[in-house]
Structure 1
């Protein structure tokens, strides 16, 4: 019997193994685990009842009471109920007289186990061997008491034969089972705690965005965990077990090994900031390391957390840059959303005069100048709220009350919800730039000498006036004004007096017109007046423009006092009327200019309205300019020679004269093309071509006995004389053609010497040193100064044909001839009279000392071959 009890006890102890397996199998699935535990406990009871101690039929003993009490104690009501139900069902299935007693023992065992569980949970009883032994004694004593209810002497037999072994065996078995289950329970709780702790640590580790590494004292990678393997120099798997010296640059490996040594020698965490070329590119890291208390294969180790701080470093750098930028030359101001100043920089103080202490806490209206109305600020804030930025020019006030212009830029700062939290304002004092801007505008749109609008501004205003007349059907007038003989003022009184006259003339014009009209200077002595808003009827508009122009003529004709001298000058005015935008601005200017020239040609000091015929004349002149250019390119110009005769000797020289042999129009007189060539700037090219031909002809004549004595006079224009390379070009042409320089006479008009006289003398002296002679043409028609005339290296003077005409009847002309001859004699130069057409003129000239003549009386200008024939006839007559 005792052996049977021991077998039942062993079966009870085996229960703990199954319970442990059940707990591990179901894990955290509590409901399944409870059911499984209940079934295990119940099945163990069934197994025990299948190997019972039978005292009498129907009465069995086994270890179910120990099993069920522990099932209720450790499993709770659900486990106890399931186990009890399984055991009770099987006991009833077995039947017999002790079936009810057996069910009662089952019920009491479960209840006593639950009672013990309650006491333990409330802290009344601490789980342990003695409490479990006590529970076993109570459970089995109660079970024995239930056996008293058995019929007959069964109860007596139970107490006599089984009671003591029952208690001595199953009570300790209950305690032992409790200890085993307690140990199992504690191990399960410990395992769960470890698993929970490990899960928490794993979650924490995975949540940390840092790279975790365990390194031994040799710098070997023992463990690596990286949320992003782009932060490593290689993938984590390939790094494990390798030394840093194998994967890092030498200087980086040495740095880390030193860092590991310092960490192992310190009791506190060590910090290191470094840069590293990772798989994701260069990054900046901050590492924190601490020594581990455990060793790995006998080597000490450290755990290292390294965080990617690249973005933080970049932001810090941007903050430093922003801080430096904030303290820039621009005034900076930060306000809250209500325009209260929060921060200012030094430039703010320098510009406004307000210190940081005075400005911070004040509203931006502190700087208001009072020059802007409410509408200005309303528009500014409207744009700022709509676009988040506003930029423009504004007037603000300094601390000392001075109002100044500034360039202001305001930006709104918004939070994640799109609400404005701050405003950042940057501004610059543009006082000097505004002044410079005004000066640039003045230089760009106004004449520097007179302060009047220039061509650019006038063109703009003319365009506006034309557009305005197009809308309101009114008229406007454009007047082109040129001061007559203004060049004489510059030449005789100096350019400073010329400038003064222009200033006074501009002021007089400005005083005559209305404020809405424009007086402009185009340069030189040219002024342009724009009259706007004239009457609708063209006749009335023209009459009003004429009255204004006549007033201008009268004002400009009044004497001017210049350096104490009184000088009077007139003007010529051309008027072009307009209404609408039918013609372009340039066309209107051309019309007024043409009208002015027509006025000049009609005698000056008068006005003239634009005539379409005049336009056609100018168009023809422009066509003629193009034809002259073409003629120069195709060598259409030739040279004719007019004889110059010495009294009593015959032909002694010739003047080379340009002639145009037009392919379609035949010979075109010089009077038609010379003025056009001068105006178009073509005289230099034409003169060069004439000189080349004349020098070549002179070289040929030098080899002919009948013409070897001839000199050739070649006309020189101002455009040629004042060219820097003129002297060189003449000498080079003489050398190339072989013309004798002593036979070359360069003929200059008196007027072209009114320019740079000293420069002209230098050129003439250089050429005269090579034998070239000079002649002054049209002498007496200009404004020759005897002071410089005597210094000119001239060889002859030519009396202008205007003084030859009507000789000897004109006493005035005779007086001039005598004076010129006397002057030439004093200067030791010869005199040639040109334009001699009658014997009377010749005799009068000869009688007054002039021995050289040129004119139709002797010969017209002839081609070279005809001139040679004339020369041969002259020689025959002389014989």
Structure 2
């Protein structure tokens, strides 16, 4: 066997495959079944042809380049093409028979499989189609081919490998690379040609879809090309332009102007614009031309591409609009009166506005229009201005013929004769009823809430300022009540904002019905209302009693169910109250105090009323200080993770729950109870959640590098703020990718109440993460109210029994019943179940007896720093199972 003979065989097959790719180069871009079958037949025929002129070492052993052809059929043609070609090659090899039949068939299968594997790796971006990757692939393939020869009987196998190794490894990998580059080049060229054809067709469709004329005019003014849709009204004009000169189709002065414009365009790099008039078959038209220099071959005349648009209708429309504008400007009511104010002439607008015909008005005095709303002083001042200055302008109320009183803007000018005496008065007036209505509407928008028609914050502050000033003068105290509806967000989330708006309107009505007409009910926005009570007396205790009485009535009214169609909704309220008139506090300070009081009512359990207490302000300042420290702690990296072990009955420590701790510079290590609530109120919980999730992913990545901890999972509690964030899924996947953590080792713990906020959205986001291997656990299971139907839809892996039920074991029969039901439910749904808060051996034994095999609690370990946790996990690893 010689390298030359094998190379000759490979070259012949390369030529056949090139002929295939050249004649059917679109089969990979248009994967029709017939094209695929044809390609498979051609590749198979090439293999058969190669086996007809083989290089032989021993009788029955056939050496040819079919592995090159079949691997490229798999790479470029896919399973169908490779399958057909492989089947044909295998069939022919069986027909040939001989001692090498089995290795030959295995080599056919090996070439097809490796070609398809290369195709998959290329589509996933793992391998390219350059010379070196193809050469490397060919080398791997044919090393496999030589390995398959070991299936021959000994010592023939070793002798065959010895003779075939050098020719095979010298000729066939190069042939593989050459055929791969050849096919790739032809297919890429086919794609480029197809893209060019598509681009040309697309450009042709666009140009024919343009309703305007598209022209190419050379520097001498000759029409070289005219493109116009057949449906265009310019089609007939376009047909007679091609090959003609500008001087042939328009007057000489216009032609000279357009030639100058063409020269200007050729000297410019930006589009040029011109308007011109041209005689067409349908008469003279005004056109707008947009021109841009066109690239032309060297040695040919320069030209421009010209888009010609008929703007005749637009010009006429603009002219009509100008005329209409002038007419509109003169649409004022006008009258001319003599020196005795007797009307002698009116225009049509006068009749339209006032309702009086010219015959009815002429001869009457201007008192015909008087409304009676202005007193003698008004008219004396008006006439004094007319006499002294010759004019007067202002707003007056006049009367129409129907008796309707309307506002108008009136301008009166005097006309004097040659002697300087007043001979006539000219009055022009405009009906401003709409303007007055607009002003009232603007006032309404500026000072009233558009949803409830209650005063808004601006009007409330103005009234509060006036009430405080009145209290200082009279000594009468007042009260400001800040009201916030409880759990209103759930109404919007579950029933939509339209339902929420209806509930707000009903709440506004109830508030207005429970206070005096002299009191103020305002809406600040969202679900926040303010009630201002005035004249509550001079005694602070008496004033507070009255305010409390009103507040209790408001709480009772707002606590009643809201009926909205078939819906029955409930939303109680929290009220904060502050008295005013005792000190010189300004309005904004009072609003803050009332807001603080309302917040205290929320903290006390909602549906409550609280008065402002000076100690309250100190507490608020402490909370604000804590908020700032949290911000600084997040920037300084003071928040760290502790890990509470999670055990499985027979495997020991299988993971941990990540619990955040704060290394406070002054207060030491703080548990979540000291800062989580304030982080939520300050809107920092999302940032803190991301910090926890980031550290958890990084820890998982570090554990992955240690055989002792590589199998540990890490559970992270997830807040509603983060779950429903717009880019939550992307951020989680980004953290996993950046850290290199295994998603299957991350377990996100969700609470039932969190999922209730928007169950369908939660399910959708959980499914997205589940596709990447992330696991989910329901935390505090049994304390919420989620239905079993939703539980079936949730992509869960684990239920976590709340420590409130574990704590009651083994004596509390209710807790035991819930634990048994939870374990049975988990078993029925195929979910893991884990119990938290396990502190006693008796609790662990009872849980184990009821099917719970995973535990977490102080019995096994408290939350620990990572090094202590790893030490504890290593100790458990030396035991065969949890003690007991």
Q: TM-score, normalised by structure 1?
A: 0.59
How far apart are the structure 2 equivalents of 1:432 and 1:685?
Answer: 52
Contact 2:490 2:757 in 1 (8 A): no
Aligned partners of 1:381, 1:818: CA distance in 2, in Å? 98
CA-to-aligned-CA distance 1:398-417 (integer Å, 9 cap, x gap): 22223333344455667899
Give the equivalent residue in structure 2 for 1:707: 709
Partner in structure 1 of residue 620 of structure 2? 618
**Matching of residues 497-508 of structure 1 within 5 Å:** 497-508=499-510
| Residue 530 of structure 1: how far off its partner (Å) | 0.6
Conserved in 2, the CA contact under 8 Å of 1:835 and 1:856? yes
Aligned to 2:535, the other structure's residue is in SS state: strand
| Corresponding residue number in structure 1 for 2:531 | 529
Larger radius of gyration: 1
- CA offset digits 1:626-664 (Å, max 9, x no partner): 221222222221122221222333221112222211222
Pairing 1:779–2:774 present = no
Task: Please give the alpha-carbon distance, in whole angstroms, between the structure 2 residues aligned to 1:522 and 1:654.
Answer: 46
Aligned to 1:680: 682
Q: Is the 2:481–2:578 Cα contact (8 Å) retained in structure 1?
A: yes
Counterpart Cα distance in 2 of 1:516 and 1:389: 45
Give the corresponding residue for 1:769: 771
Q: Which secondary structure does the structure 1 equivalent of 2:844 belong to?
A: helix
| Other-structure match for 2:276 | none
Is residue 599–residue 608 contact of structure 1 (8 Å, CA) maintained in 2?
yes
Matches within 5 A, 1:418-497: 423-490=425-492, 496-497=498-499
Name the structure 2 match of 1:820.
822
Aligned residues: 560
Query: Would you say 1:697 and 2:695 are equivalent positions?
Result: no
Compared CA separation, residues 360 and 772, structure 1 to 2 (3 A): same
Secondary structure of the residue aligned to 1:797 is strand
1:27 paired residue number = none
Change (3 A) 1:685 1:357: same
User: Which of 826, 830, 835 lines up with 1:833 in the alignment?
Assistant: 835
Deviations for 1:536-577, whole angstroms, at most 9, x for unmatched residues? 222221121111112222222334434346555533221110
Corresponding position of 1:638: 640
1:401 corresponds to: 403
Is the deviation greater in 481-490 or in 719-728?
481-490
Could you say which residue in structure 1 is the equivalent of 2:511? 509
Contact kept, 8 Å, 2:660 with 2:671, in 1: the verdict is no
Q: Is the 8 A contact 1:480 1:575 kept in 2?
A: yes
Counterpart of 2:809 in structure 1 is 807
C-alpha change, 1:354 and 1:660, in structure 2 (3 Å) is: same
Q: Deviations over 1:308-330 (max 9, x none)?
A: xxxxxxxxxxxxx9x96896133
1:726 aligns with 2:706: no
Structure 2: 5+ residue stretches without partners: 1-322
> What is aligned with 1:280?
none
Q: What's the secondary structure of 1:654's corresponding residue? A: strand
Q: Is the 8 A contact 1:746 1:774 kept in 2?
A: yes
1:870 aligned residue = 872
Contact 2:494 2:758 in 1 (8 A): no
1:699–1:461 Cα change, 3 Å:
same
- Partner of 1:533: helix, strand, or coil? coil
Question: Is 1:608 matched up with 2:606?
Answer: no
> Paired residue for 1:164?
none
| SS of equivalent residue, structure 2 residue 538 | coil
CA change 1:724–1:418 in 2 (3 A) is: farther
Give me the whole-angstrom Cα distance separating, in 1, the residues matched to 2:411 and 2:608: 58
- Give a deviation string over 1:462-486, Cα, whole Å, max 9, x none: 1221122122222110111223344
The Cα offsets for residues 407-452 of structure 1, whole Å up to 9 and x where unpaired, read as 4445566789997665554433333333333333333333333332
RMSD value, Cα: 3.2
Out of 860, 863, 866, the position equivalent to 1:861 is 863
CA distance in 2, matches of 1:702, 1:326: 80
Please state whether the residue corresponding to 2:735 is helix, strand or coil. Answer: helix
Q: Structure 2 vs 1, CA of residues 630 and 332 (structure 1 numbering), >3 Å: closer, same or farther?
A: farther
TM-score with structure 2 setting the length: 0.58
Name the CA distance, whole Å, in 2 between partners of 1:386 and 1:849. Answer: 105
Q: Deviations over 1:342-386 (max 9, x none)?
A: 544433322222234433443333222334444554565566667
Moved more, 569-578 or 757-766: 757-766
Pick from 354, 357, 375 the counterpart of residue 355 of structure 1.
357
Give CA-to-partner distance per residue, 1:659-708, whole Å, 9 cap, x none.
Answer: 21122222232112212111221122222222221111100101111111
The question of whether the paired residues in 2 share the 8 Å contact of 1:572 and 1:600 is answered with yes
Deviation of 1:852 after TM superposition, in Å, equals 2.2
Distance 1:725 1:402 in 2: 61
Question: Any conservation in 2 of the 1:642–1:656 contact (CA below 8 Å)?
Answer: yes
Are 1:793 and 2:785 counterparts?
no
